[in-house]
Structure formats: structure tokens, C-alpha cells
């Protein structure tokens, strides 16, 4: 009997060890003391089919002029791409941690990673994320594209980050995304397919797409007395997601009248019964819609200029 107990204990220990080995390599990292002093600033893919190209690059902006090469050369950047067989023109998965010491252009304020293979690990069709880490693996900056968050650190995300971190790049025509204002602003993309990236230069001359309309997404059929999830996404004229300014307030309405709106997810401010003000960084918000009696409901959203 004693031998059986020992065998069980060994089996449990082996299972626990396997579980530890199976956990992702990314821990709940903390924010770096260098947070706000540098940022991931621009990403470019030369080929619209998203295959790797030697001209693909990642640009980092050194914001604090007191930050020296001796300091940031100890940092690393890592990119991870969503696995998607339908768009697999390159390597899915994650790059190695790439040292900033060996970047092609390491002259501040814009330092550029362009090593001929970096484009294998980010793809504007599938979604990806990128994380900039200091010498202690604490977070200096982070970007999540199209909702992919493999490397997001629970100890340093959302409002804890110095700058907006959510980006969107839907559609096959997108070739680059960038922060505007340069280094510190929200993420956006070019307004035209003819626009060129600004490698090693400011993004401030590149205009962000303007808000054109809102897209409403919901299940279509709800259950009486149960709340239904309704998503509102801000779009430009090309149907790419954009971040409304922090002064943008939308009003929700239904025909026939609903019995109540409640905020499900969003970083802005919800003002009952039906108004929401964006925080300037987010492109989408989710609400709960409650209807106590059965009815066909038409949902509308307006900010006074753009309506859907």
C-alpha cells in the first residue's frame, strides 16, 4: 500500500511538472521604469500578400533624449503572429527576443529593425502583437493588432501603459500602421494605398483616417428577459476600424424602445440611460441591451455627425 501511495504522489508530481512546462513563456510582467520614454512607433509590410520582404521594418521611437544607446541597447523586442493557415505566407508564431543593440539604424530618436526576416512574424491579415522589454524583461511598450494579445502582460496593460496599445489593420491593402502624433499617439493607418511609410522619420505628416460611420454587430435574435450583447465599431470610409476622439459621444436608440442599456466592455464613460463617450484610444465598445417583451428592434447609433 505504501508503494502505491508513493506511485500516486510521483504521478501527481509528473502531471504538475507537465502543466508547468505547458504554460506560456510570457509571465505577468511589470511596467518598466522606462515606461513612456520610448515606444513601438511604426510597422511596415512591403507585400500586400503579407509574405516576408527585406524591406519590412519595425520602428521604435526614443522619446526621452536623455535615454542613451548604452541603456536601450540592453532592451529587446519580440513579435508574435496569430496562426492562420489561410493566410500563411510567412512564419506563424513568435520571433526570438531581438536585441536593440543590433538594429539597422540605432541613431535616436527613430531606431529601425530591418533584418530581412522580421516581417515573417507580423501579418496585417491575421493579427499580431509586439512587446518592447527592458533589460529586466519589464514592459516599456506594447501593441496589440486586431485583438491578438499573446504577449500582453497582466501587470502592465490597458491604462497602465503610457500610450494607446490597440491597433487595427483589416483588409489586404494595409501595408503599414503608425502612431500619430509621432511616438505617443493612437495607432492608425494610411488614408490611401499610395501613401508611403516614414521609416526613420516623423509620422506627423501622415494623416490618420477620419471617422466615417459606425458598424453595429449583434446576434440578431435575442431571448426575452435576457440581455443581448451589442458591439459598436467606429469605421473610416474604407471600413477600417478607427479610434474616435475622446470628445466623441454616441447616443444609442432602438425602435421600438428598449428597456435598458448597460456597458459590457469599454474604457470610456457610460452615462445612463444611453450615452457613451470614447476614451480616444478604443475603436469598439460593447453594451448589454435588455428587452422585457418580445419585439422586432432596430438599433441606431449617432454622435451627431456619423450615424448607423
* CATH ID of 213-302, from 3.40.1380.20, 2.60.40.10, 3.30.2310.20, 3.90.1150.10: 2.60.40.10
- pLDDT for 238: 66
- pLDDT for 47: 74
List CB contacts of 204: < 8 A, sequence separation 6 or more: 180, 181, 182
Distance between CA atoms of 168 and 146, rounded to whole angstroms?
5
Distance between CA atoms of 177 and 1, rounded to whole angstroms?
65
- pLDDT for 182: 94
Q: Tell me if 79 sits within 8 A of 95, measured CB to CB.
A: yes
- pLDDT for 23: 35
Residue in the structure block whose three cell numbers are 496562426: 83
- Name the grid cell of 48: 500586400
Residue among 98, 123, 97 at smallest CA distance from 44: 123
Alpha helices in the chain (DSSP H): 2-22, 69-72
Q: What tens digit of pLDDT does each residue of 138-193 get?
A: 999 999 998 899 999 999 999 999 999 999 875 556 688 999 999 999 998 877 66
Residue in the structure block whose three cell numbers are 536585441: 99
- pLDDT for 192: 65
Q: What are the residue boundaries of the structural domains of the chain, listed by start? A: 38-188, 213-302
- pLDDT for 144: 94
Residue 80 vs residues 92, 110, 132: alpha-carbon distances, Å: 8, 22, 12
Q: How would you write the pLDDT of the chain (308 residues) with one tens digit per residue?
A: 334 333 332 333 333 333 333 334 445 679 999 999 999 999 998 776 677 778 889 999 999 999 999 999 999 999 998 887 655 565 668 989 999 987 767 788 999 988 766 777 887 878 899 999 999 999 999 999 988 999 999 999 999 999 999 998 755 566 889 999 999 999 988 776 667 888 989 988 765 567 778 888 876 655 555 678 888 888 877 677 777 876 788 888 877 666 678 899 888 888 888 888 887 778 888 888 876 665 666 667 767 665 55
Distance between CA atoms of 73 and 89, rounded to whole angstroms?
31
- Model pTM score: 0.62
Amino acid at each position: 500500500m505504501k508503494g502505491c501511495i508513493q506511485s500516486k504522489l510521483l504521478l501527481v508530481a509528473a502531471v504538475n511538472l507537465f502543466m508547468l512546462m505547458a504554460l506560456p513563456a510570457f509571465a505577468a510582467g511589470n511596467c518598466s521604469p522606462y515606461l513612456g520614454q520610448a515606444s513601438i512607433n511604426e510597422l511596415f509590410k512591403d507585400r500586400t500578400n503579407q509574405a516576408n520582404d527585406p524591406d519590412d521594418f519595425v520602428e521604435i521611437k526614443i522619446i526621452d533624449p536623455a535615454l542613451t544607446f548604452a541603456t536601450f541597447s540592453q532592451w529587446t523586442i519580440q513579435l508574435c503572429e496569430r496562426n492562420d493557415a489561410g493566410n500563411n505566407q510567412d512564419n506563424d508564431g513568435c520571433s526570438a527576443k531581438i536585441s536593440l543593440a543590433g538594429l539597422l539604424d540605432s541613431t535616436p530618436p527613430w531606431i529601425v529593425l530591418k533584418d530581412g526576416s522580421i516581417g515573417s512574424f507580423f501579418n496585417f491579415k491575421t493579427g499580431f502583437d509586439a512587446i518592447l522589454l527592458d533589460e529586466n524583461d519589464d514592459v516599456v511598450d506594447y501593441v496589440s493588432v486586431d485583438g491578438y494579445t499573446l504577449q500582453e502582460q497582466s501587470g502592465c496593460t490597458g491604462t497602465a501603459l503610457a500610450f494607446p496599445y490597440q491597433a487595427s489593420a483589416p483588409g489586404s491593402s494595409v501595408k503599414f500602421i503608425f502612431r500619430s502624433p509621432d511616438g505617443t499617439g493612437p495607432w492608425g493607418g494610411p488614408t490611401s494605398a499610395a501613401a508611403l511609410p516614414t521609416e526613420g522619420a516623423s509620422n506627423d505628416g501622415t494623416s490618420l483616417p477620419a471617422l466615417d460611420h459606425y458598424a453595429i454587430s449583434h446576434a440578431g435574435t435575442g431571448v426575452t428577459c435576457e440581455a443581448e450583447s451589442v458591439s459598436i465599431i467606429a469605421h473610416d470610409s474604407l471600413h477600417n476600424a478607427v479610434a474616435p476622439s475622446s470628445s466623441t459621444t454616441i447616443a444609442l436608440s432602438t425602435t421600438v424602445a428598449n428597456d435598458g442599456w448597460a456597458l459590457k466592455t469599454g474604457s470610456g464613460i457610460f452615462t445612463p440611460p444611453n450615452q457613451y463617450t470614447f476614451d480616444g484610444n478604443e475603436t469598439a465598445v460593447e453594451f448589454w441591451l435588455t428587452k422585457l417583451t418580445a419585439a422586432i428592434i432596430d438599433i441606431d447609433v449617432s454622435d451627431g455627425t456619423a450615424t448607423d
